[in-house]
Amino acid sequence: MPYIGSEDTVRDLRRVLSNPNVQSDQLRYRNTILKVIRLPSLVEYVEQPLTAGLRDRAACVRRVAVLGWAKLHNLQTNSEIDAAVVNELYSLLRDPDPVVMVNCLRALEEILREEGGVAINKPITHHLLNRLKECDIWGQCEVLRILQRYRPQSEDELFNILSLLDVSLISPHPPVMAATLSLFLSLCSGLPAVGLAALERVRGPLLAACGNTSREMQFTALCHIQLLLRSLPGLMGEHYKRFFCGYAEPAYIKQRKIEVLVELVNDDNVAILLDELRGYCTDVNISTAHAAISAIGRIGRSYSDKCLEILTELLGLKQEHITSAVVQTMRDLVWVCPQCSRTVCSAVEGCEAEIQDSQGRHALLWLLGVYGEQVSSVPYTLEVFIDGVRSEASVGVKMELLTATVRLFLCRPAETQDMLGRLLHYCIEEETNMCVSDQALLYYRLLHCGIEETRKVLQCRRSDPSLGVLIGRPAEPINQWSYIFNTLEPLRPGAIETESATIGGSPEHMTFDPKPNNDLSDTLSYSFGKTVRSGESEHVQCPTIFRCSPQSLQAAMQLVNIQTLAFTPPHTLPWRVYLYTNTQNKHSADTCHGTLILGELLYTGEEIQKKSKDEENVGVEARQDKREEEREEDTAEGRSEKERVKKNTAEKGIKVTLKQQPRDEKALKGFLSVLTTVLHALSSE
């Protein structure tokens, strides 16, 4: 047996296989045998029995032989595929044994992977669909998954296939139902009404899966129900009690059920659901309690009075983690519903003693800073925070304390002047964190410019009602989520976007997923320096490279009411920051016009050409005029050819792309002016 190795190797294998102790231990004996049969040298000895096995009378032999060819392919992945074997496997798709048929699909998928897998045509498709009932559960799932590649050639054929799938759509087996619905949605991508009808059909099987004894099956069903509710918000409205949490259920299932309950709230059941959620707020699991409190806050955007009553009652419990979560929820609620500010301010007054975590203190400071004139005891509360600033470990709390104190100084200067001076002195002279000290310096220099200038920067809108449009979720087209249905993606934490704002961070930093919007077609690209106009676009070049810490950037942008959506770490390339803001311009005494501006800051580490793609789209005449002007300048100033080439070369800098809806030139120029000032200030630092 020279193909195994040396004679010593053969001798060792023989000795081990003849050892009675090894023969009596099935696992050791199997591992020894595997040392012989995973060998590529045995391929030529295996092909003949596998070929004979494909034609064996016994179905169990054919099943193993088919999978054997897939295994053999793994041992010799670089060798050419035998066309005769592939044809034989295709012919076995019509084998009377359904397991052999499914195994052939799996083997062909493996062998023909580089060619895109098994070829699915009309005869194979209809053959597989007609024999679908003969397969076991996982065989049906395999067939349905592979059939997603096929596209019907006519509408009549499409509806014939849908008729064959109708029975499987309401299968009592959740995997089969999910695989069928996934295929159904794939086939009906151009027929939204048919897709919605299919979602209605699977309501019963999904509800049944939520009551499955398997916790994993329950969780999977809940995640996929959340997907369906994105297109049919009222799909489970009548069955909301099926999503009430059981006492013994694990926390991850309770939290998913709470998210589903929020989606099912309406005028008829809001009282019942709020009463149910109130009970979850005192759950022994802290994450579940926080999820319930946050859910009440989300419902409060439509039913603020009822929800604020419950949240105020929870503050009366004086439990640390509950108080912190309630304050954060109230902070998020008042940002969207400014009419709740007076009730919230009276509720949170005096609750600072129960809040020990940094996120809760951060939220409380934001409320005290923005609505300081409505709470009589705010100066005394902030003074306690300022006295303990040396022992404060959270950078975010220190930065929020700075902002809150400066904001309070603008409306109550006599009570705040002394403590503001002490805070600025500490942050500038003694604070070791650069983000805090930089923010303190920014405020110090801003105050030197005058109270009115400071007021223009800091006393911006206290809430943003237009965020309701961004946070709200209308019915979405099915094709926006159908591609992840029946995959592991919906099970991933945070994969399914909800209306909830995460507990933590100021509402200015609330993030949303800016989905592509064809209406935001007015695009401008900027850098900073000299402006070059090209039709609807502007390009400005920055002579210096602007790179700073995310915290400093966030703090600076927050001061001018520009909110940070996301950013990459400062030492990675390409470096990006995504921003947004909403502006309100008064057109008359009674009417206001709002516009949404989205922005992207990009630094690639490479040279940014002054002649960008936008300039290439400018008309031929404009380009010729520009060249004529450049030639005249060159002649007048006597530039050499080398200097002219240098003028057209690139400089390193930041490129900013802005999108706006609706179009408002005045608002856009104002936004650009503010953004330019902030970035130049940070660059100089």
CATH code of 624's domain: 3.30.310.10
Separation between Cα atoms, residue 164 and residue 458, nearest integer Å: 64
User: What does the pLDDT look like over 366-424, one tens digit per residue?
Assistant: 999 999 888 888 999 999 999 999 999 999 999 999 999 999 999 899 999 999 999 99
pLDDT of residue 562: 81
For CA atoms 128, 133, 136, 137, give the dihedral sign.
positive
Domain co-membership, 546 together with 470: no
Asked whether residue 150 is domain-assigned, the answer is no
Taking alpha carbons only, the member of 302, 301, 300, 282 closest to residue 292 is 282
Mean pLDDT for 168-194 is 92
Backbone angles phi, psi at 303, to 5 degrees: -130, 65
In the predicted model, is pLDDT for residue 326 greater than 90?
Answer: yes
**Residues 336 and 368 sit within 8 Å (Cβ to Cβ):** no
Domain count, the chain: 3
Q: What is the DSSP letter of 303?
A: S
Asked whether residue 354 is domain-assigned, the answer is no
Domain co-membership, 543 together with 669: yes
Taking alpha carbons only, the member of 210, 237, 187, 178 closest to residue 489 is 178
Domain co-membership, 16 together with 112: yes
In the predicted model, is pLDDT for residue 226 greater than 60?
Answer: yes
Instruction: Give me 424's structure tokens.
Output: 């600025």
Instruction: Give me 447's structure tokens.
Output: 């105050």
Mean pLDDT for 308-313 is 95
Domain co-membership, 547 together with 470: no
Asked whether residue 420 is domain-assigned, the answer is yes
User: What does the pLDDT look like over 535-544, one tens digit per residue?
Assistant: 333 443 444 4
Q: What is the CATH number of the domain that holds 51?
A: 1.25.10.10
Length, in residues, of the chain: 685
Domain co-membership, 566 together with 664: yes
- Sequence-distant (≥ 6) Cβ neighbours of residue 579 within 8 angstroms: 557, 562, 563, 564, 565, 598, 599, 600, 601, 675
Q: Where are the beta strands (DSSP E) in 478-554?
A: 522-526, 531-534, 537-540
Residue finishing a domain among 440, 474, 508: 474
Domain co-membership, 548 together with 660: yes
Mean pLDDT for 159-175 is 92
Cβ-count burial of 620 within 10 angstroms (0-12 exposed, 13-18 middle, 19+ buried)? Answer: exposed
Count of Cβ atoms closer than 10 Å to residue 596 Cβ: 21
Domain co-membership, 470 together with 546: no
Provide the whole-model pTM. 0.67
**Residues 438 and 424 sit within 8 Å (Cβ to Cβ):** no
Separation between Cα atoms, residue 296 and residue 642, nearest integer Å: 68
Asked whether residue 58 is domain-assigned, the answer is yes
Residue finishing a domain among 452, 474, 496: 474
Asked whether residue 463 is domain-assigned, the answer is yes
Range of the domain at 616: 538-683
Q: Give, for 544, the enclosing helix (H) or strand (E).
A: none
Asked whether residue 479 is domain-assigned, the answer is no
How many helical (H) and strand (E) elements, i.e. helices and strands, does the chain have? 32, 7
Domain co-membership, 585 together with 674: yes
Domain co-membership, 561 together with 437: no
pLDDT of residue 5: 54
Domain co-membership, 557 together with 462: no
Asked whether residue 70 is domain-assigned, the answer is yes
- Mean pLDDT taken over the chain: 80
Separation between Cα atoms, residue 217 and residue 490, nearest integer Å: 13
Separation between Cα atoms, residue 646 and residue 640, nearest integer Å: 10
- Compare 46 and 122 and report the one with higher pLDDT: 122
User: What does the pLDDT look like over 457-504, one tens digit per residue?
Assistant: 887 655 544 444 333 456 788 988 988 999 999 988 766 654 443 444
**Residues 570 and 548 sit within 8 Å (Cβ to Cβ):** yes
Taking alpha carbons only, the member of 238, 237, 321 closest to residue 285 is 321
- Compare 563 and 279 and report the one with higher pLDDT: 279
**Residues 244 and 276 sit within 8 Å (Cβ to Cβ):** yes
Asked whether residue 661 is domain-assigned, the answer is yes
Separation between Cα atoms, residue 215 and residue 221, nearest integer Å: 10
Mean pLDDT for 9-36 is 84
Taking alpha carbons only, the member of 527, 523, 517, 514 closest to residue 604 is 527
Domain co-membership, 548 together with 461: no
Residue finishing a domain among 87, 119, 151: 119
Instruction: Give me 169's structure tokens.
Output: 């759509």
Domain co-membership, 567 together with 460: no
Taking alpha carbons only, the member of 60, 111, 57 closest to residue 89 is 111
Share of the chain above pLDDT 70, in %: 77
pLDDT of residue 337: 84
Separation between Cα atoms, residue 69 and residue 45, nearest integer Å: 13
Instruction: Give me 167's structure tokens.
Output: 């029975």
